[in-house]
């Protein structure tokens, strides 16, 4: 999360180009939306699993990052491809995500949802919560994304679950009893899916990432160039880890 924010700041300063970043997580990490209460998390269970915890700079609800491809897009405020409202920009990026999935042989589609129909968001799990420009297969959510607009520009990132048991996230969230946890697992499996579940076989991270690169180039008319983090981005990310992402106030420990 600190790296995504450091890239956005560098893009705003024009010391880095607008960036599509593709990455994975080791060890698995539970991420919370910026306004989600830490009280949703069963911290002893999380520690027992050896999983990390981070709060995202974007909204949304909890995601367990493991066995997935994570993408982030960082662009300055004047990037024409992300001009207009948040929903308009979100939809344009959804078209690129949709093309990537089609290249992987996934019969995904975009399902638009109005804010009025979504209702209040009290569910702790991202993949159970509907959003605008939802990417679904057979009525089940496949990609979880969130966007933030700041002075520096637009940051959007999201998760494509490649394989594994989606209900693992429920092992580290708070429920009144095990019956409620079990019912939540059944709901989640009815509302979300993974690439491997749809295709009947796993795809590698490299296969998925190449599809993302090709789709973003074609749909958004981009020329993407492979690159590494600059020394300034690395230094800023390290600083953000120290002063923000591991700070009790950001994590929400003081208001738990």
The answer to whether residues 7 and 19 touch, using CB atoms and an 8 Å cutoff, is: yes
The answer to whether the Cα torsion of 58, 91, 112, 184 is positive or negative is negative
Strand order in the sheet with 140-141: 109-111, 134-137, 140-141
Provide the 10 A C-beta neighbour count for residue 248.
11
Which of 135, 164, 154, 156 shows the shortest CA–CA distance to 28? 164
- How far is 169 from 189, CA to CA, in rounded Å? 12
Q: Tokens for 247, please give them.
A: 């700070």
Which residues are known to be catalytic? 126
Strand order in the sheet with 52-55: 52-55, 29-32, 63-65
Q: Tokens for 175, please give them.
A: 């429920």
């Amino acid at each position: 999360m600190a790296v995504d924010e450091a890239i956005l700041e560098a893009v705003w300063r024009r010391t880095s180009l607008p960036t599509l970043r593709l990455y994975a997580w080791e060890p698995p990490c539970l991420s919370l939306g910026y306004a989600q209460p830490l009280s949703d998390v069963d911290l002893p269970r999380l520690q027992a699993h050896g999983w990390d915890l981070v709060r995202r700079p974007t909204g949304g609800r909890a995601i367990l990052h493991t066995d997935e491809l994570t993408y982030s897009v960082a662009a300055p405020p004047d990037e024409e491809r992300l001009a207009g409202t948040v929903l308009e920009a979100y939809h344009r990026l959804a078209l690129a995500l949709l093309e990537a999935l089609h290249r992987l042989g996934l019969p995904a589609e975009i399902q638009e949802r109005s804010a009025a129909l979504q209702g209040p968001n009290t569910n702790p799990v991202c993949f159970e919560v509907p959003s605008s420009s939802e990417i679904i297969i057979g009525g089940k959510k496949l990609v979880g994304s969130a966007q933030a607009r700041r002075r520096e520009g637009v940051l959007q990132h999201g998760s494509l679950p490649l394989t594994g048991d989606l209900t693992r996230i429920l092992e580290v969230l708070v429920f009144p009893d095990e019956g409620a946890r079990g019912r939540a697992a059944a709901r989640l499996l009815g509302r979300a899916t993974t690439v491997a579940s749809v295709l009947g076989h796993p795809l590698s991270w490299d296969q998925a990432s190449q599809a993302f690169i090709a789709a973003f180039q074609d749909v958004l008319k981009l020329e993407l160039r492979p690159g590494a983090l600059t020394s300034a981005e690395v230094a800023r990310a390290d600083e953000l880890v120290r002063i923000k992402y591991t700070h009790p106030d950001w994590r929400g420990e003081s208001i738990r």
